[in-house]
Structure 1
């Protein structure tokens, strides 16, 4: 086989809508899958992509070229997870077949983001985009917009901020505090924009996949990650309640924004540190069970403790010199706490560096059953 016609379904509509498992190899399997997808969702463009790939395959075969068609599907969590699944399928296929070149079939820019991944493994001679013809009248435009808003990827981006703002406004109206609605809506939309701007949906999707795998594989990380999440929520609630109490008694004009943020850090830092330590302990337990644990794995926990100590000491000192207290003795004592926390953090960090540099990596450890000589 020399030429491979590659069709991509990045968001796995084949699996989600037609219950088809990929990769799909060969003309008949691809046509059957395209028919199933078109039957399940006639408006899905991935079926047209496969039919377009079949058309290209027939043209190559008619010219007497040695060619084959294959379709790869990713995951509904479009991004790192879906691309990793497609890459794994492609690597497995190329390891068993000799391919010299490929023709890439797509239905738009989203699938074409996979071109560099495919091109890093095989030479791509051509890229063909399958475009479904549409009439240009007003009715078709309305239909396209309606279906676009029904797409979860678009509706989540458009409707979530509006729905969140309306919900927060309703809650503050019920609490008879409409002035706070502006603050709540601004904070919620700001957090959502930061979430989307920093592309945090990918890390959360990876974390969700990792949690699901640890649950089905019976790993300790599922329990400790759950505990860490609960502690994180508790810490955030405690910090928010404390911050709100100071805000309503004096306001930011009295204490200052920096002081109020410092209050939140001071009352929550050790909760967050303990939560992260729980997550790290679960990882170490699983590594111990799989016999891949080394003393080097303790280093991140020591660094977390050192960072927590620094934040606690610094926040304590800042609060002592702010509007919270004017006691000179308290200021001197908090300064001592800050100095001790800096020294302690440095010592703990140096210990972590020492452990990290002296312990062997897991791949260098002798494995059981190897290295033994027969008597």
Structure 2
């Protein structure tokens, strides 16, 4: 039986500050890494976590227990990306070493969010949190605020809204339109709050990592995703300009917010559909290059096209029956468009379902056949 002392650096301070790669295995290497981190940033708690792990390792050795210490580091983008990197390191280490149980060392609740993930792979006997004792002077309000603002996670949350407000206000003052500053500031802060409220930083961080990986690996997805982003920006600008034109001529009270939202959908839906199709095409090209392509990878593109038809037909019909000035078709033609779009969307979606289902059946049969061949060889 071998016990593993696990130390976690979820935000990869070891790599970002001390330029130490993980996993860090063994007592001497962990002490060296902790010293290097403490030398660069004496206030970082991760070095104390490692020293706490070494202390636990010494206690285990003094009791005659066969134990080893390892430190896993994640990524500065704390969340899905950092957790995935730690999981990959942990799985690789467990495959190469005979470990039966572990002791988890952390410096706070953030690292301990990984406990369920680690427990799903190895038995945890104990959890030890390292708490650094400080003097009364260091616990002053100034020190706490100073260190809080130096933390990127806190400073971004606090300074970004204030910075956006000041920047937008300055731009509208230069444009001699101070009244628009209220609209711009409200829109920017509202968008930022929605961004934070829906926790969209994780999907954007994943997208950034994928774009970076596809760029260095020479994948087609880098080009097609860039095209998709540009098309999405163009679509949003077209929709915003169209809305602003109707809003300034009649106002939201005249057209109604639902009608204006329908206008935005109607003028942008195909731009967004084409953008997503470009991203899917790039993905399919890379899958084909790596011999991982199958027909069911076409299904998402068909479903997106079907959804585009539905939104376009429905928005066209709503604008026509509401006698919207921008609608040129008669209600009779618009209802026909809506019916045709519904029928077309159903046909395209059924084609996607059929392709996906047939490919899944084919994959199952192929796995069964391969299993029989492997069994006959043995």
Q: Which TM-score band applies after superposition, normalised by the shorter structure?
A: over 0.9
The one-character-per-residue Cα deviations of 1:270-318 (angstroms, maximum 9, x if unpaired) are 1000000000111111111112212222111111111111111111111
CA–CA separation in structure 2 for the residues paired with 1:261 and 1:22: 49
Partner of 1:148: 148
Partner of 1:71: 71
Partner of 1:103: 103
How far off is 1:352 after superposition? 1.5
65-74 vs 9-18, greater mean Cα deviation: 65-74
CA–CA separation in structure 2 for the residues paired with 1:87 and 1:363: 28
Q: 1:272 to 1:327 in 2, by over 3 A?
A: closer
Gaps of 5+ in 2: none
How far off is 1:320 after superposition? 1.2
* 1:255/1:322 contact within 8 Å kept: no
Matched, 1:195 2:195: yes
Q: TM-score, normalised by structure 2?
A: 0.93
Partner of 1:114: 114
CA–CA separation in structure 1 for the residues paired with 2:338 and 2:116: 51
* 2:317/2:331 contact within 8 Å kept: yes
CA–CA separation in structure 1 for the residues paired with 2:130 and 2:38: 15
Partner of 2:280: 280
- Within 5 Å, which residues of 2 pair with 1:1-375? 2-137=2-137, 140-325=140-325, 330-360=330-360
Q: 1:327 to 1:307 in 2, by over 3 A?
A: closer
| Secondary structure of residue in 1 paired with 2:330 | helix
* 1:296/1:355 contact within 8 Å kept: yes
Q: TM-score, normalised by structure 1?
A: 0.94
CA–CA separation in structure 1 for the residues paired with 2:190 and 2:365: 48
CA–CA separation in structure 2 for the residues paired with 1:137 and 1:146: 13
The aligned length equals 372
* 1:294/1:362 contact within 8 Å kept: no
CA–CA separation in structure 2 for the residues paired with 1:307 and 1:326: 23
The RMSD of aligned alpha carbons is: 2.3
CA–CA separation in structure 2 for the residues paired with 1:166 and 1:121: 49
CA–CA separation in structure 1 for the residues paired with 2:340 and 2:361: 33
CA–CA separation in structure 2 for the residues paired with 1:38 and 1:158: 27
CA–CA separation in structure 1 for the residues paired with 2:362 and 2:159: 47
CA–CA separation in structure 1 for the residues paired with 2:223 and 2:173: 39
Q: 1:329 to 1:73 in 2, by over 3 A?
A: closer
* 2:221/2:283 contact within 8 Å kept: yes
CA–CA separation in structure 2 for the residues paired with 1:324 and 1:311: 17
* 2:7/2:53 contact within 8 Å kept: yes
* 2:320/2:329 contact within 8 Å kept: no
The one-character-per-residue Cα deviations of 1:222-279 (angstroms, maximum 9, x if unpaired) are 1100100010011111111111111111110111101111111111111000000000
CA–CA separation in structure 1 for the residues paired with 2:291 and 2:98: 38
Q: 1:47 to 1:362 in 2, by over 3 A?
A: farther
The one-character-per-residue Cα deviations of 1:121-169 (angstroms, maximum 9, x if unpaired) are 1111111111111223487331121111111011011111111122122
| Secondary structure of residue in 2 paired with 1:4 | strand
